Amino acid sequence: MKFLASFALLLSLLCNTVSVAFAAPDIPNPVGDIYVQDFAHLLNDQEKADINQMGRKLDDETKAQVAILTVNSLGDSDVEEYANEAFRKYKLGDKKLNNGVLILLAKKEQKIRIEVGYGLEGAITDIKSGEIIDSYAIPNLKNGKYDTALESTYKAVYNQVVKEYDLGTDFEQKVPKAAPPSDSGVHFTPLQTLLIAAVIVGLLILDFVFFKGAITQFLLNFLVMFGGRGGGGGGSGSGPRGGGGGSSGGGGASRGW
């Protein structure tokens, strides 16, 4: 009986391990217009409204849907798997044309990907996707300008779709050139970093010994109160726009910064 119980326990653990290993990424449900899903809170309301306006305009003219998804973390998934699953969940692009594009940014892992639907893989190739990321996303991301990186990347992808459908220059968006990564920040030697860490730990100990952590608690509350930005999707007029039923074949490009 002990053997059977042990075997059952081992089998249960193995099944749980396998189920976790093959679990699908936890993709957030879309909020508002499908074109902006900013769950990492990297865009302000005006930026989201501008992107949603571009997305609706392109959608109305071509049925193509270009969307941004930002998340704090990919969890246990890699950026390619996460982007593909998110694309399929959001059903970007027309069901028959499969002309959707997803721009995914994961803040914790410092990864960005352009995922392209079947119908646009000829216009936005893997090479072109990589060029867009390298030119407009990475330089801004290295400077900490998440919003500029996302807006510029969106406009660059948008312009490629405009060219594919021959909509003319009136539809194109101006994309500013990204500034080179700044290296003007303050740098510390390993010894200086160690000394700073020791001072911080010492102050924390003094706070908890003499003030029962009151100062630390005050600082944490202050950061929570004033540290946030923006929300999920945004948009106006005639209700939120959802995906059109499109699918992805896994084309595109990924980068880290």
Mean pLDDT score, 78-85: 97
- pLDDT value at residue 235: 40
CB burial of residue 157 (10 Å; 0-12, 13-18, 19+): buried
Residue with tokens 């028959």: 96
**Residue 193 — very low, low, confident or very high, per pLDDT cuts 50/70/90?**
low
- pLDDT value at residue 195: 66
- pLDDT value at residue 109: 98
E-strand ranges in 28-178 read 36-38, 65-71, 100-106, 111-117
Distance CA 136, CA 178 (A): 6
Nearest to 104 by CA among 57, 72, 139: 72
Distance CA 102, CA 83 (A): 7
Q: What is the pLDDT of residues 14-43, one digit of tens each?
A: 444 444 444 568 899 999 999 999 999 999
More confident site: 23 or 62: 62
Which residue type is seen at 217? Q
Residue with tokens 């700044």: 182
- pLDDT value at residue 99: 97
Mean pLDDT score, 146-150: 98
Mean pLDDT score, 112-128: 96
Q: Phi, psi (5° rounding) for residue 101?
A: -140, 135
Distance CA 121, CA 100 (A): 10
More confident site: 162 or 10: 162
Angle between helix axes 146-164 and 45-62 (nearest 10 degrees) is 10
**Residue 189 — very low, low, confident or very high, per pLDDT cuts 50/70/90?**
low
Indicate the range of 6-10, 56-60, 134-138, 210-214 predicted with least confidence. Answer: 6-10
- pLDDT value at residue 65: 98
Q: Assess whether pLDDT exceeds 80 at residue 217.
A: no
Residue with tokens 């101006």: 174
Q: What's the CA dihedral at 36, 42, 44, 48 to 10 degrees?
A: -10
Q: Assess whether pLDDT exceeds 70 at residue 131.
A: yes
Say what the pTM is: 0.70
- pLDDT value at residue 202: 73
The overall average pLDDT reported for the chain is: 82
- pLDDT value at residue 5: 41
In sequence order, what are the residues at sequence separation of 6 or more whose Cβ sits closer than 8 angstroms to the Cβ of residue 111? 74, 79, 104, 105, 254, 255, 256
- pLDDT value at residue 74: 97
